[in-house]
Amino acid sequence: MRLSLRALSTDRASLHTRVTATVIALITALVAVLATFGFSTAAEAQAPLPVGKVVTPTAARPAQNPNLLPEFNAAINRGLAAVAQAREAKVQAMRSRVVSLAKAQIGDTYVAGAAGPNRFDCSGLTRYVFQKAIGKSLPHQSHAQYAQVKKIRFADAKPGDLVFFFRNGAHHVGVYIGNKRMVDAVGYGEGVRISPITGSWWSRSYTGMGRILAA
């Protein structure tokens, strides 16, 4: 029993030694990290110089920086702003592709139930344009497309949004291209064209704007 207690005491002493060494190593590492950012320990700052000792100039250490956290936050905010700008640029490029492809179909024939190429009905045109331009799949019914979009105010509309007409967008849809105009596919021998959406029969039938692409 005495041998067991002695062994236990030895193990405890060994453990204490290892823990102490680990703590010292951690403190040393922490001091080194703080020094890197310009902090000094209280003992280092207050310790008097030995009497008669000649101090040799050394490289200047960085000054303490009490504004380190605000600077860190500012760097984070700059990074987030850069990410937001990159996303906005990507969305804008996608909008441009949608509008360009919609305009490229001008003059194509209107055929009920057609979704391209070269022949379209209204929702077939918007379905074709979004699929080919940005890989976004839309249903082939204007009311079903209206159910999927984010509803936005006309004042907030951007080129590449969708514009809907009649009750709940059930009968007609076009690609908004800016300046109160859209590219749409209509019957009566007109086909795909640029149409105004205000000051005409369309303005009386207007339902609302819808967004597929995030602003």
- Structure confidence by residue, pLDDT tens digits, 57-88: 555 555 555 566 777 677 777 878 888 888 88
CA distance 59 to 48: 20
Candidates 11, 122, 140, 161; catalytic one: 122
Candidates 108, 121, 161, 184; catalytic one: 184
Query: How is the chain split into domains, by residue range?
Result: 85-211
152 pairs with which residues across the strands? Answer: 209
Whether 122 is catalytic is: yes
Predicted TM-score of the model (pTM): 0.64
Percent of the chain residues topping a pLDDT of 90: 47
**pLDDT score of 184 more than 70:** yes
Identify the architecture of domain 85-211 in CATH: Alpha-Beta Complex (3.90)
Candidates 108, 121, 161, 172; catalytic one: 172
SS (H, E, C) 33-99: HHHHCCCCCHHHHHCCCCCCCCCCCCCCCCCCCCCHHHHHHHHHHHHHHHHHHHHHHHHHHHHHHHH
Whether 172 is catalytic is: yes
- Structure confidence by residue, pLDDT tens digits, 83-107: 888 888 898 999 999 999 999 999 9
